[in-house]
Structure 1
Amino acid sequence: MKSSLLQLYTRELDRFASEIELYEHEVSLWKLAMNISNSSGSLCLHLVGNLHHFIGKHLGNTDYVRQRDAEFSTTDVSKAILLQEIDVAKQMVITTLTNLPEGKLQENYPIEKNGETVTTEYMLLHLFWHLSYHVGQINYHRRLLDS
């Protein structure tokens, strides 16, 4: 399972970086229109913060302090910085999952998820789904608003 998680996270984080890279107009990363309430830039910051918090801090024992509100209120970060942040998050995820003992997957995740105790495996699958969901939103946002 750990090998599969590593492959899936690596693939999706590469796809995430590719979606940000594909923006032709950097300003489009921060556009809002119609009923779109989150820009791709905000989703990028949100995903990076989410991964650092739930994987880095709670499984990799990093000292990351999440500022979730800033993930959605910060604007106009350059594409280069966003891509750098994705790369740092990717390296952290790979390192954390590589060093995670296989048996840890069946143990309880260190914190509750919505008041529920879940296994580390469950949480990693949930976080992967969350990443993939928002990367899909970024793809759609780019195709709609990067013109």
Structure 2
Amino acid sequence: MLNKTLTALFVRDLEALKKEIDLYSNEKSLWLVPEGISNSAGNLCLHLVGNLNHFIGATIGNTGYVRQRHLEFSQKDIPRAELIKQIDDTIQVVTLALETLSESDMQKAYAHQVFNEPMTTEYFLVHLTMHLAYHLGQINYHRRLLDV
């Protein structure tokens, strides 16, 4: 079933996110935003955690998570250990939520209209894997450019 494949991909990339955050030799570099760069790695990490906890945890898993998207981009200097804990918690949330989905659930309309048009849960979950991969690549590039 697709939910098992998606779970494997989310877990793989969230584990890669933890590795990227851990690979910063200087923890302060996680929060650098030099001219020409929109977001720090730390804020992108918070964004990914918030995004998945909202769109998968709260919406599919009924976790009660309340997203504060503005904080994903405004909070600074959160310790690396806390970021990694948040990623670990997100892995659990995503895994538990996705295992509840049937093939029929995947073909139903996703609960929120995110792109101003209806879409299936399957479509949106595939989008979320791509969103995670996109920002993971940005974090990798940020680390290789700015971790001094």
Scaled to the shorter chain, the TM-score interval is over 0.9
Q: Give the equivalent residue in structure 2 for 1:32.
A: 33
- Counterpart of 2:48 in structure 1: which amino acid? L
Q: Distance in 1 between matches of 2:46 and 2:32?
A: 15
Q: Give the equivalent residue in structure 1 for 2:110.
A: 109
SS in 2 for 1:99: coil
Q: Give the equivalent residue in structure 1 for 2:97.
A: 96
**Deviation by residue 1:54-79 (Cα, 9 ceiling, x = unmatched):** 00111001111110001100000000
User: How far off is 1:80 after superposition?
Assistant: 0.3
**Deviation by residue 1:38-91 (Cα, 9 ceiling, x = unmatched):** 000000111000000000111001111110001100000000000000000111
**Deviation by residue 1:106-136 (Cα, 9 ceiling, x = unmatched):** 1110110221110000000011100110000
User: How far off is 1:4 after superposition?
Assistant: 1.1
SS in 1 for 2:59: helix
User: How far off is 1:34 after superposition?
Assistant: 2.9
User: How far off is 1:22 after superposition?
Assistant: 0.6
Q: Give the equivalent residue in structure 2 for 1:79.
A: 80
TM norm structure 2: 0.97
Structure 2 spans left out of the alignment, 5+ residues: none
Q: Distance in 2 between matches of 1:56 and 1:3?
A: 16
Q: Distance in 2 between matches of 1:78 and 1:67?
A: 19
Q: CA RMSD in A?
A: 0.8
- Pairing 1:7-18 to 2, within 5 Å after superposition: 7-18=8-19
Aligned length: 147
Structure 1 spans left out of the alignment, 5+ residues: none
Name the % identity: 52
SS in 1 for 2:113: coil
- Counterpart of 1:22 in structure 2: which amino acid? L
Q: Distance in 1 between matches of 2:17 and 2:104?
A: 29
- Counterpart of 2:134 in structure 1: which amino acid? Y
Q: Give the equivalent residue in structure 2 for 1:41.
A: 42
- Counterpart of 1:103 in structure 2: which amino acid? S
Structure 1 runs of 4+ with >6 Å offset = none
